[in-house]
């Protein structure tokens, strides 16, 4: 009897408490409950999820024990946002702006995410590329507090226990990196944590995925970066990278532990793994787990979106183009695979589709019978029956591509001669300089427009300033994966799919291209304004959800009649909630409790 009463009491109080009984014998934070009734006074100000600062009303301050702890002025959230924008603008250095946003997230979670989501063009270059690369390089110096999990090679056999230490039990999405290939900066080891933290911030800001459902993770197996090994501020394991069987066993254990802890439908996004591991893990896990690789599949989708957009100017279908890649790593192969899929949908044969794609890597043109620098079975599909060539400028003249794609992290690889050749071969050449950060781009927007007489359709991986050429202003688009991965994740989470289809990424590419207007094209962009990313994410999620139900791979039942409304009902609310229970809740629940007591008493 006593145990039943205790259980009933806990069930009654659950909406007002941050703790619940757990079968493992410890307490967990319930991220859905933003206003736990057991918290009073200063704890409301110390918890970023609960803190509203001066936006607490007078009633809230009095009933929650906050009266006197705050300055008497009561402000609206909009007034707080204006202060944040002013403070942000007062910082001159991008890294200082990054640190300001990190501090804001630590203090005011809702204010942080609303600031990012409503000021995308100003904030995304700081939260994401290119500034996040600098933040990763300085991560040991700027590290303040944990915002994710570090799983090390020394945790083999105990990875599940490490995951149990994360206080949230309702994790739906994980972004994981081993830090070996951070952007174009190389091996940053444990300092690569800035990447999954930044990616998941965009999950919430752009797709309104609830922040407590997101978990950034670094797999730390060491680093081969000599500077970090000798850096007293480095925060990771001071050893060279563990490779081979021990490394693979750790990743296997990690994947199994995620499913055991959070369930089979937990989305696991692989980020910035070295090429030799990225494809291996994608092939190994894609049919066993709910996973994708953003560097391979996300990059592919955003580039294909740009190709779809270019059709509106060139009039060419995807299969009408010749594609030449500078770089034949994971990103290039991922883009090529999705291009082939798009061409097959247009009715092109498989052989013909592969003939449309040329690749150039460290040793030259990718051709049959030559010795490759590193084993990449996926690159084999794109080997051509052609003589060896190692001069990229000469290859451009011979192949005469209509689309030139840089995915190499080799700065200035697209020389003025190469760009002029593209202009000679095409009325409207399409040029993608995708490498991040900006310093690694294959060419600048200025160089592309000047060398093609302003006729090119240009996009880059990181933002470039506007270009003035021959009296016209060009605002080139940024082919940023942020157009893609938040929407994919939202669609996967709400539909409950167990595996992620390549078709999801074609759906995403088309959704982004459809958002492009004639005005966007006139200003020189192949992508809609960054401010539309939230709309893109919603359209992508809807497309993914519809495809999942049509093909029987969704597990959320019953199938929602109004899928768009269903998606919105599962999204994060960027506005402050009341910090007090409604007046009717307590009496109503008290009556129910008394009824239960009477029932069991009889």
Q: How many CA atoms lie within 13 A of 222 on its CB side?
A: 13
Looking only at the bridges linking them, the beta strands covering 214-220 and 149-152 are parallel
Q: What residues contact 345, with CB distance under 8 A and at least 6 apart?
A: 506
Q: What radius of gyration, in Å, describes the C-alpha atoms of the chain?
A: 26
Cβ atoms of 443 and 413 closer than 8 Å = yes
Q: Could you say which of 97, 98, 128, 527 is catalytic?
A: 128
d(CA 380, CA 390): 18
Cβ atoms of 285 and 255 closer than 8 Å = yes
Structure tokens at 589: 């629940």
User: Own/partner pairs for 385-391, CB < 8 Å, 24+ apart?
Assistant: 388/364, 389/364, 389/365, 390/363, 390/364, 390/365
* Sheet containing strand 173-177, strands side by side: 149-152, 214-220, 173-177, 267-270, 291-293
CA 524 to centroid of chain Cα atoms:
25
Q: How many CA atoms lie within 13 A of 573 on its CB side?
A: 9
Residue 189 region by backbone torsions, left for phi larger than 0, else alpha for psi between -120 and 50, else beta: left
Q: Give rounded-to-5 percent helix, strand, coil for the chain.
A: 50, 10, 40
DSSP 29-58: B-TT-SS-TT--THHHHH-TTT--GGGS-H
Is 481 exposed, middle or buried (CB count within 10 Å of its CB: 0-12, 13-18, 19+)?
buried
Structure tokens at 515: 């958002």
Structure tokens at 430: 């399409």
Running DSSP on this structure, what letter comes out for residue 367?
Answer: B
140 phi, psi to nearest 5 deg: -65, -30
Cβ atoms of 47 and 78 closer than 8 Å = no
545 phi, psi to nearest 5 deg: -65, -45
Specify whether 549 is catalytic: no
Q: What angle do CA 90, 94, 96 make, to 5 degrees?
A: 65
335 phi, psi to nearest 5 deg: -60, -45
Q: How many CA atoms lie within 13 A of 152 on its CB side?
A: 11
Q: Could you say which of 52, 97, 199, 356 is catalytic?
A: 199
Specify whether 128 is catalytic: yes
To which residue do tokens 């089979």 refer?
Answer: 264
Cβ atoms of 295 and 276 closer than 8 Å = no
Q: What residues contact 374, with CB distance under 8 A and at least 6 apart?
A: 275, 276
β-sheet bridge partners, residue 472:
469
Cβ atoms of 360 and 324 closer than 8 Å = yes
Q: Which residues are the active-site residues? A: 128, 199
């Amino acid at each position: 009897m006593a145990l039943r009463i205790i259980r009933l009491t806990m069930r009654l109080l659950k909406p007002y408490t941050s703790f619940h009984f757990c079968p493992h014998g410890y307490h967990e934070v319930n991220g859905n409950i933003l206003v736990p009734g057991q918290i009073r006074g200063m704890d409301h100000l110390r918890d970023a999820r609960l803190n509203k600062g001066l936006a607490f009303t007078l009633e809230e301050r009095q009933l929650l024990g906050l009266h006197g702890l705050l300055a008497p002025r009561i402000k609206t959230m909009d007034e707080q946002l204006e202060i944040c924008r002013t403070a942000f603008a007062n910082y001159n250095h991008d890294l200082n702006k990054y640190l300001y946003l990190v501090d804001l997230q630590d203090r005011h979670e809702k204010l942080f995410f609303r600031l990012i989501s409503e000021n995308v063009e100003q904030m995304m270059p700081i939260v994401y590329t290119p500034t996040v690369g600098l933040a990763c390089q300085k991560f040991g110096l700027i590290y303040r507090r944990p915002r994710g999990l570090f799983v090390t090679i020394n945790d083999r056999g105990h990875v599940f226990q490490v995951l149990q230490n994360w206080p949230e039990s309702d994790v739906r999405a994980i972004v994981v990196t081993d830090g070996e290939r951070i952007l174009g900066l190389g091996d940053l080891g444990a300092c690569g944590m800035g990447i999954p933290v930044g990616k998941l911030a965009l999950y919430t800001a752009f797709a309104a995925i609830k922040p407590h459902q997101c978990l950034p993770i670094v797999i730390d197996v060491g680093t081969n970066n000599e500077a970090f090994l000798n850096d007293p501020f480095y925060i990771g394991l001071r050893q060279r990278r563990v490779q081979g069987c021990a490394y693979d066993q750790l990743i296997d254990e990690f994947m199994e532990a995620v499913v055991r802890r959070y369930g089979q439908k937990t989305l696991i996004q692989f980020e910035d793994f070295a090429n030799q591991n990225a494809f291996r893990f994608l092939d190994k896990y894609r049919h066993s787990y709910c996973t994708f690789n953003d560097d391979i599949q996300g990059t592919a989708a955003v580039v294909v979106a740009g190709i779809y957009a270019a059709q509106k100017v060139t009039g060419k279908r995807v299969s009408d183009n010749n594609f030449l890649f500078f770089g034949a790593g994971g990103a290039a192969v991922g883009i090529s695979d999705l291009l082939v899929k798009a061409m097959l949908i247009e009715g092109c044969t498989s052989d013909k589709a592969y003939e449309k794609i040329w690749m150039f890597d460290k040793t030259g043109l990718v051709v049959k019978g030559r010795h490759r620098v590193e084993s990449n079975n996926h690159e084999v599909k794109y080997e051509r029956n052609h003589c060896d060539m190692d001069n990229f400028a000469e290859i451009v003249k011979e192949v005469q591509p209509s689309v030139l794609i840089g995915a190499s992290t080799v700065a200035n690889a697209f020389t003025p001669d190469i760009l002029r050749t593209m202009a000679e071969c095409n009325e409207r050449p399409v040029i993608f300089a995708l490498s991040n950060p900006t310093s690694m781009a294959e060419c600048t927007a200025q160089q592309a427009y000047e060398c093609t007489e302003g006729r090119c359709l240009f996009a880059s991986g990181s933002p470039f300033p506007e270009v003035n050429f021959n009296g016209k202003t060009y605002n080139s688009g940024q082919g940023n994966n942020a157009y893609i991965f938040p929407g994919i994740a939202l669609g996967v989470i709400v539909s409950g799919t167990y595996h992620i289809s390549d078709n999801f990424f074609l759906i995403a590419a088309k959704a982004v291209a459809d958002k492009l207007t004639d005005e966007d094209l006139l200003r020189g962009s192949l992508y809609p304004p960054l401010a539309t990313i939230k709309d893109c994410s919603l359209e992508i999620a809807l497309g993914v959800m519809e495809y999942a139900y049509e093909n029987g791979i969704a597990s959320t039942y019953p199938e929602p009649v109004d899928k768009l409304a269903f998606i919105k009902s599962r999204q994060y609310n960027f506005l402050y909630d009341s910090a007090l229970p409604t007046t009717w809740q307590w009496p109503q629940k008290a009556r129910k409790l008394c009824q239960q007591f009477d029932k069991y008493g009889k």
